[in-house]
Chains A and B, each alone.
Chain A
Amino acid sequence: MQITRDHVRHVAQLCRLELSEAELDTFTRQLDLILGYVAQLEQLDTDAVEGTAHVVDLTCPWREDQEIPSLERDQILGQAPARAREHFEVPRVIE
């Protein structure tokens, strides 16, 4: 399939990435090239093959239910670009 500017604009919106017009052009060309290369996977008959999501066969292990100290709240909030009292501060969501 041919990747168009509309595909790229849609994908950029899904992953919350603002793009300049120049970036839109470059990424359209590059994604088309890369996905063209990826298309060779279609040469393989994989209908009867189960996918590998993960190489380790795991059941989720249980850990001991111990009380351990959490990270310091001030230390965490101190890394934020903006904080208000005990919260992360962000631009207004609802007008």
Chain B
Amino acid sequence: MSESTTHASAIELARRIRARTLGAEELTRAYLERIEALDPALQTFIERDAEGALASARSVDRRLARGEEVGCLAGVPLALKDNLVTAGLPTSAGSRILAGWRPPYDGTAVARLRASDAVLLGKLNMDEFAMGSSCESSAHAVCHNPWDLERVPGGSSGGAAAAVAAGLCAGALGTDTGGSIRQPASFCGVTGLKPTYGRVSRYGVIAFASSLDQVGPLARTALDCAALLEVIGGPDPRDSTSIADPLAPGSLLQICSERRDLQGLRVGIPREYFGEGGLEPDVERAVREAIETLASLGAELREISLPHTRYAVAAYYVIATAEASSNLARYDGVRYGLRAPSQSLARMYGLTRQQGFGPEVKRRIMLGTFALSAGYYDAYYGRAQRVRTLIRRDFERAFAEQCDLIATPTSPFAAFRLGERLADPLQMYLADIFTISCNLAGLPGLSLPCGFTAQQLPVGLQLMAPPLSEAALLSVAAVYQRSTSWHLRHPPVAEVPS
């Protein structure tokens, strides 16, 4: 099958399958062959489900042949970050402590994809428990960036971004707690959306930081992200923080497809995202050009200030680790996963956790436990929560008074080399400097390809919007993608004949 097919958009593939000019089974086989050929070098998949994928593809072909109704993603091969639980299919969240666990149920986002007749190819590589910005903390294998195998794909949804970029699936679901969808999307040259907190149910998402975690799509285009969000979003009685859709069912994709220009759109450019954080010149150039493109499409640019930006990383690494230390207490060797043998219960807990967790996860559990411990709670956790309020207010003020959207670089730099930031955890944390505020404020954020560095590495433009403004975010991105072609470029590895 030609690469024009395996690199087509999910919407285009869905249309061709429905029109029966492309067989779902034939397409699924083509992706499985590409995975077989290319993934040994990339390591984007932790678990493949060829049998399950082919069975759902055949079922789609059969129903279409009989003239029966099928779901809106019928036959489209997708893949899932390995912290989304899947009935019967091993789910490890990239951790040794959960190796071999077969969940007894599907999470809500996964169940909704299945109900839309999508084909699920398997589970994607990630930083252990989504803690990392490079995918290097995965207990499974180090994942590689398809644009340069010596570089990281970003994290924590690194496998998802790399698999979409390399044409190993037509789209994927990831999770984003501090940038884990947007930063790898920018490193791998794909489009990634972190929805508003609460827009997608967290039922069946292996918890990292419950007040920040959110599921979202990574795909080739903003319109594909809209199509995926439309399927997975919406309230869920199993997640009391999930919130109602602001739009009528089916209207998101329509709104995004119909927008033609950016007349009347006020785009805020926060000066704090350009002066600080070690912004690479190549990244700055590409992002500024992209912002000029938004202006040429009709947007009005306004310089704004988000004065508490520089405190976001510090506040985040207290709040996220505090929540993680509580969420990860459940891994104790009793009900699932790894158990280290011991005669005493207390020692069994301690040894299981020592052997089951990698260094980054241990570091964060301890940091969070410290921040919540007697005598330090208010000085660390309490203060970080108050700073979170200040960061939220910066955005509230900007959106109330100055702009409809905010445009920034997604990351200060393009994909870095494997190992480059591993020795110093703080350097790794600072990689999230431009994505974290969005999670702290609960806003939707998106990264889309907007150019390349001199070394031919993709650069991402980040757009942020007020809560529940996904339609604005995705429609602006769709307008940008209609007049640019950065998102259509494929990495060299994806051109290896399969």
A7-44 CB contact bits vs B (8 Å, 1 = yes)? 11011101111111001001100110111011011101
Query: How many chain B residues touch A (Cβ–Cβ < 8 Å)?
Result: 69
Whether A17 pairs with B366 at a CB distance below 8 angstroms is yes
Task: Decide: A55 near B314, CB < 8 A? Known: A18-B347, A79-B335.
Answer: no
* CB of A58 closer than 8 Å to a CB of B: yes
How close is A31's CB to chain B, nearest CB, in angstroms? 6
Contact partner of B386 among A17, A20, A31, A49, CB < 8 A? A49
Enumerate A48-86 residues with CB–CB distance to B below 8 Å.
49-56, 58, 60-61, 63-64, 71-72, 75-76, 79-82
Q: Give the CA-CA distance A53 to B382 in the complex, in Å.
A: 9
* B388 proximity list for chain A (CB < 8 A): 51-52
New A-B pairs, 19, CB < 8 Å, besides A46-B386, A51-B385: A11-B370, A12-B366, A14-B369, A15-B353, A15-B365, A17-B357, A17-B362, A17-B365, A41-B318, A44-B390, A46-B390, A54-B211, A58-B240, A71-B105, A80-B334, A81-B336, A91-B344, A91-B345, A91-B348
Are B387 and A46 closer than 8 Å at their CB atoms?
yes
Of listed B101, B104, B325, B380, residue having the most chain A CB within 10 A: B104
Of all chain B residues, the one with the shortest Cβ separation from A8 is B366
Interface residues in chain A, defined as those with a beta carbon under 8 Å from any beta carbon in chain B: 7-8, 10-12, 14-20, 23, 26-27, 30-31, 33-35, 37-38, 40-42, 44, 46, 49-56, 58, 60-61, 63-64, 71-72, 75-76, 79-82, 88, 90-93
Contact A55 B197 (CB under 8 A): yes
Bound state CA distance, A10 and B372, in angstroms? 13
Q: Are A11 and B366 in contact (CB under 8 A)?
A: yes
A56 adjacent to B243 (CB under 8 Å): yes
Q: How far is the CB of B268 from the nearest CB of chain A, in Å? A: 20
A72 to B313, CA, bound (A): 43
- In the complex, A60 Cα to B345 Cα: how many Å? 36
Residue of A nearest to B105 (CB): A71
Quick one: which of A10, A52, A60, A61 has the most chain B CB within 10 A? A52
A35 nearest CB across to chain B (Å): 8
Q: Is B392 an interface residue (CB 8 A)?
A: yes
Q: Is B102 an interface position by the 8 A CB rule?
A: yes
Q: How far is the CA of A79 from the CA of B345 in the complex (A)?
A: 19
Count, A-B residue pairs, CB within 8 A:
162
- Main SS of the interface on chain A? loop
Interface of chain B: mostly helix, strand, loop or mixed: helix
**Contacting pair A93 B345 (CB below 8 A):** yes
Whether A75 pairs with B104 at a CB distance below 8 angstroms is yes
Please give me the residue from chain A that is nearest to B101 by CB atom. A79
Looking across the interface, which residue of chain A has its beta carbon closest to that of B355?
Answer: A18
Asked if A88 contacts B314 (CB within 8 A), the reply is no
Contacts of B334 in A (CB 8 A): 80-81, 88, 90
By a beta-carbon cutoff of 8 Å, the part of chain B in contact with chain A is: 101-102, 104-105, 197-198, 211, 237, 240-241, 243, 308, 310-311, 313-315, 317-318, 325, 329, 332-339, 342-351, 353-354, 357, 359, 362-363, 365-367, 369-370, 373, 380, 382-390, 392, 425-426, 429, 440-442, 467
CB pair A56 B345 closer than 8 Å = no
With both chains docked as a complex, state the minimum distance between the C-beta of A59 and any C-beta of chain B, in angstroms.
10
Once bound together, how far apart are the Cα atoms of A56 and B384, in whole Å? 18
CB distance from A88 to the nearest CB of B (A): 5
Asked if B350 and A16 sit within 8 Å, CB to CB, the answer is: yes
Residues of A within 8 A of B385 (CB): 51-53
